[in-house]
A and B are shown apart, each in its own frame.
Chain A
């Protein structure tokens, strides 16, 4: 709550709205005490005096009445009517909503049908019908505006109540023998009250506008009594000759409604958790780059090399170090596996390569990513765009979410082709069919007309692969492409990728949490833990003789290699939170071999034989070493 208040007070616009509204309210309350002329005394000799004339600060109207006085009295009336209408609508609407939501069943059904019916009307028709039946007059206009807004409250509050009606504390109240009206009063009402208040704060501006509108039409307050709407309505006849009589009440309505809206928006934003977490910010076209050190010299050899890559998430004042200095390389025709638990930074590493990490909150803070020797970190957008899908292509997990749901798969393929090749629609379509055939989709001519939801998971992922191949890229980065699939389909997709790699001399970076998949496909494997590579080497030797205790534990969790799905969750404990990484070895808390020295300082990734290991006390494999 205090955080919400802070957020609110930082919102200067909302604060300004609050202050203005407060002043207007104060004025309206103080009107009877102020030394004002009588608002209803006519003096035709003094008609249409301009503003700032003697004795009439804002001038006079068509009957010579003092405008300032009428304005303040009118404001008082408009505000009172608006608040009254809002309160009545909220009370009745909330009562209906709570009853419908709490009792449910047939009653709920009938009530909500009625509410839907009322909402199927443009609101003014209902208001006009009510005023027509009751006759013009301020009270009747108030009733009409309140009635028109009842359905809105009823529907909102019903939704909240339905959610509450099945919560444990309500069940507990039921078991303790409270009657249903009692439960509504003691358990439900206190919980929906804040929602009612917020809904009121966002609609009250509307209600003031609507009552002013009815008065403007001559259906609300009747002369000589005037609210802002009827002042404007009466002034309309003299709009062209004496505009100030229209401007004065009109501007007042604008000020009131705008300050209410400002305040309402501020309250709503302050209470919206998504705004606080930044979940509503737009990810930019490329990840933000803010290097905090020199660009590392190229030392590794490969078509794609990562050196000391650092990617962080900046959320508020917290910095989550998702990738903490990763160096990797992949050569043409080679498949490099990156394996780790979720949260180990493997996906962020992969997305950082072409700046696809959502930003905000992602920031690349250091290192280099070189494609054929050219550093892509901080490359201009047009260059990145050319690389994306053109030279380095991605395959993502769960193609139901990663393919656009509203475009045919053929169109999505054509788009991928046309993003990089200057081909006409027809040629691109023909190429799309070819691509689908390459990834062994039967009937490709018919399939291109399908929407993603019309395909099976395996077929969708083949489309995903075809899309990656569309522009004959040199490198493919596959981010858990088989995780959402069942075992047989997974095997087919893996063998398809393996064939493609051999036939096209592709470099593949394969991200997974499954050692079985690594064993089938990858030449080398890098194991990631808490944003760092902890062990790297040829797949076979890592699998047979893991050196890092973490790798060893991962492999021990796998019952037998070579098929089937295995998860890594079986290791006791959790990886450390990436915003509070411990000194020294990140695995120390879960390691059986931990010694005090492990927690002292950074542990380098040290070369050991055919691989590199980040551990002070690596596992020994005497039998294997003896055999070598």
Chain B
């Protein structure tokens, strides 16, 4: 087991390097004088000189990359000139808020999606199946930012169940209850699309498994149909559902950008959009790399979970 984890971690190194190369190349696309472009309206002569020194912008491309990578490995992601603070500090602070939002949404969509898909498969072509299929279709067709806005209108403005936006109350205690009431709507809005996708996939994974011989064995043993579905079939179907959960985590993280804008959640998505609009390139770079790296590690966690679930791939 330990060996498996170590090998998976090792295999993440080239992926992480590849991500830095891709981000670096995209940034090299920037037309014109890179230092001025990176600095945008903060291009004072001493700032330009500093960027040129830090990134070695007069060096050949590959040396620039190595200097940049070396700086990052030492925790130096550069300086956000717009915010006048180190990129890494800002990114870490904002990413925390995103993790709370996206993490909650992910747990929600994984649970709801798998349960809905299982119910759907167990009642194939029945009423529950049709209702879930329709809800899923609606869920994967509605833009999450529009859904979020409609939820604000209904639950915050009309019903006053939850606050309109933000992560913490402006006055009052920053406790769990306050966080929860602020978190409920954005997390739900963010979870909807992924829930639909996961429900759909779980349904078909389950239908596939229900045809297999070991399901007939379970029935022949006299196991109750309830456990045939929820123990035997679901466990086996999880083998193909889990990797999709990993992929959907990426979609949840992506959707968080919109949701953070709609609900004014102080997360990294909002930071990135603001940074792009202000042309704060180094902040964009740092944010993208940190989030991508976290996503890669999350997928390692999914792989390890997969190996715990399926003894056949443990070696």
Contact = CB atoms under 8 A, between A and B. Distances in A.
Interface of A: 113-114, 116-118, 120-126, 128-136, 205, 209, 212-213, 216-219, 232, 236, 239-240, 243, 246-247, 250, 253-254, 257-258, 261-262, 265, 279-283, 285, 351, 354, 356, 358, 381, 385-390, 393-394, 396, 398, 401-407, 415-416, 419-420, 451, 453-454, 467, 470-471
B208 interface: yes
Contacts of A129: 23, 26-27, 284-285, 288
A132 B211 contact: no
A254 B141 contact: yes
Contacts of A470: 221
B207 A121 contact: no
A236 B124 contact: no
Contacts of B228: 285
Interface in B260-300: 261-262, 269, 272-273, 275-277, 279, 281, 284-285, 288, 291-292, 295-296, 299
A243 B153 contact: yes
B204 interface: yes
A368 to B, nearest CB: 20
B212 A401 contact: yes
Contacts of B137: 258, 261-262, 265
B220 A389 contact: yes
A385 B224 contact: yes
A409 to B, nearest CB: 12
A244 to B, nearest CB: 11
Given A217-B257, A402-B217, A406-B311, 18 more contacts: A117-B18, A120-B18, A120-B295, A120-B299, A129-B284, A136-B276, A243-B153, A246-B149, A254-B146, A261-B140, A265-B137, A282-B121, A393-B221, A396-B213, A396-B216, A406-B235, A406-B309, A419-B221
B216 A122 contact: no
Contacts, number: 230
B152 interface: yes
A454 to B, nearest CB: 8
Contact of A124 (B26, B221, B257): B257
Contacts of B291: 122, 125
Contact of A218 (B207, B277, B279): B277
Interface stretch (B61-69, B85-93, B174-182, B246-254): B246-254
Nearest to B217: A402
A70 B275 CA distance: 29
B49 interface: no
Contacts of A404: 214, 217-218, 232, 235-236
A240 B153 contact: yes
Interface in B46-72: none
Nearest to B299: A120
B280 to A, nearest CB: 9
A470 B217 CA distance: 13
A509 B18 CA distance: 62
Given A122-B291, A406-B239, A131 B276 contact: yes
A452 B269 CA distance: 47
A416 B149 CA distance: 52
B275 to A, nearest CB: 7
B142 to A, nearest CB: 5
A281 B225 CA distance: 16
A213 B213 contact: no
A133 B299 contact: no
Interface of B: 15, 18-19, 22-23, 26-27, 29-30, 121-122, 124-125, 137-138, 140-143, 145-146, 149-150, 152-153, 157, 164, 204, 206-208, 210-225, 227-228, 232, 235-236, 239, 250-251, 253-255, 257-258, 261-262, 269, 272-273, 275-277, 279, 281, 284-285, 288, 291-292, 295-296, 299, 309-312
Contacts of B211: 279, 283, 358
A118 B22 CA distance: 8
B146 A232 contact: yes
A396 B26 CA distance: 58
Contact of B261 (A123, A217, A279, A283): A217
Contacts of B239: 406
A491 B255 CA distance: 62
23 contacts: A118-B22, A120-B19, A124-B253, A124-B255, A124-B257, A125-B291, A125-B292, A129-B26, A132-B272, A136-B277, A216-B261, A218-B273, A219-B273, A246-B146, A261-B137, A282-B124, A285-B228, A358-B211, A388-B221, A401-B212, A406-B311, A419-B221, A454-B311
Contacts of A396: 213, 216-217, 220
Contacts of A217: 257-258, 261, 273
Contacts of B157: 240
B213 A401 contact: yes
B311 A451 contact: yes
A280 B141 CA distance: 25
A125 B288 contact: yes
B222 A213 contact: no
A394 B220 CA distance: 6
Contacts of B212: 401
B225 A381 contact: yes
